[in-house]
A and B are shown apart, each in its own frame.
Chain A
Amino acid sequence: MNRICWWLVGRLSRGLEPGERDAVLGDIAESGETGAEALRDLLSLAVRRQAALWKDARAWLALGGLIAPVAMLAGGWSSWGSWLGFVSRQLGTVFNLGVLAESAMTRTDDIVRLVCGILLMMSWAGTAGFALGSALRRSAWAYAAFVSLLWWLWIGPPLRLMFRVPLRWTLFWLLILMPFLWGVHRGVRLGSPGVGRMALLAGAIATLTLILQVEDSRATVARELWSNGGSLGWRLVWTPQMPPFLAILWQFGILTVAKEKNI
């Protein structure tokens, strides 16, 4: 029992910053506590640290930036209206039938749109991970595991139906998961970006999510306004490929700024 407690103490202490871990484990060693007492002490510290974390607005901004998009994606799923739905449908059709799902466009346009969709999806997952990692630091990995499990349980079942071969479904899942974990890693390494930049990140995630909803009626209105100028009569060039590239450029911009300011 004592050995299990000490093993747990060792695992739990990894969640502390290196300096604090040294001080806390040293204090425990000096006071000659048993494994159970040490575990209780460390748990009390972990619980208080978590409670303190949620007093910070940045943690709520990061969580809001994650929950809102997941809810929107899941909500848009049933109507096949989300970009995620488009990408997975397109991929699934190409994989399973060897033909393209969107017949209104040329083959080149269709492929470009598919690639853009995948990049945008990866970009969204990376930004969400970055926000989580930079706001929650070392605790981020526990939340990342929780969010990944949530995605797997929530979005996984309808996605699995679309792919006949499990390997293809797993590959698709990795397209979301890998950039997300990479984003968490970058966020943890670069540190807390401050409330202002955190709000910018949350805004970036929200905007990316809106772009994901490109087939939604609101996006159609926005596209009409963009293309025809509405009542103002001005006109800008619209291509379906622009939003994903803008979104990706934006994310790289944010990462670059965060890197410049923190290192």
Chain B
Amino acid sequence: MLGEFEYLLLTAAARLGEGAYGAAIRQEIEGATGRQCSIGALYTTLDRLEAKGLVNTWMGEATPQRGGRAKRMVRVTAKGMAAAGAFYSAVTRVSRGVAWEAKRRAVSL
């Protein structure tokens, strides 16, 4: 079972697709949660996910806006997608019928 931050990171990387790398994932998570995401948390979680085989990372190209430094690119593996899907299903199932879930459904309708 994934942790909350692991799920957020996998989802952000999957959403970004080919453009998933450290800074972009960080921005995506901060935008979605409204919380600050530290580089320490991001990179150590990425290492952990890579060790579990849930993502692949490699060094990408350097851009002038990064001071000519390379990006650490991220791609979610099939195993990572399955793990994120399982986490989402579990959260959805366990949330069925609780007050905040009913409220969210009412707002969306």
A211–B10 Cα distance when bound, in Å, is: 53
Please report which residues of chain A, range 4-59, place their CB below 8 angstroms from some CB of chain B when the two chains form the complex. Answer: 19-20, 22-31, 40-49, 52
Q: Is the CB of A27 within 8 A of B23?
A: yes
- Report A-chain residues with C-beta under 8 Å of the C-beta of B63: 26
Q: Is the CB of A22 within 8 A of B69?
A: yes
A80–B64 Cα distance when bound, in Å, is: 64
Total interface residues on B, CB under 8 Å, equals 22
List the interface of chain B (C-beta within 8 A of A). 21-23, 26-27, 38-41, 43-44, 47, 59, 62-63, 65-67, 69-72
Total interface residues on A, CB under 8 Å, equals 23
- Report B-chain residues with C-beta under 8 Å of the C-beta of A31: 23, 26-27
Q: Is the CB of B39 within 8 A of A26?
A: no
A43–B47 Cα distance when bound, in Å, is: 17
Given A41-B40, A48-B40, check contact A27 B26 (CB 8 Å).
yes
List the interface of chain A (C-beta within 8 A of B). 19-20, 22-31, 40-49, 52
Q: Is the CB of B39 within 8 A of A44?
A: yes
8 other contacts beyond A23-B59, A26-B67, A45-B38, with CB at 8 A cut-off? A20-B72, A23-B43, A24-B39, A24-B43, A27-B23, A41-B40, A48-B43, A52-B47
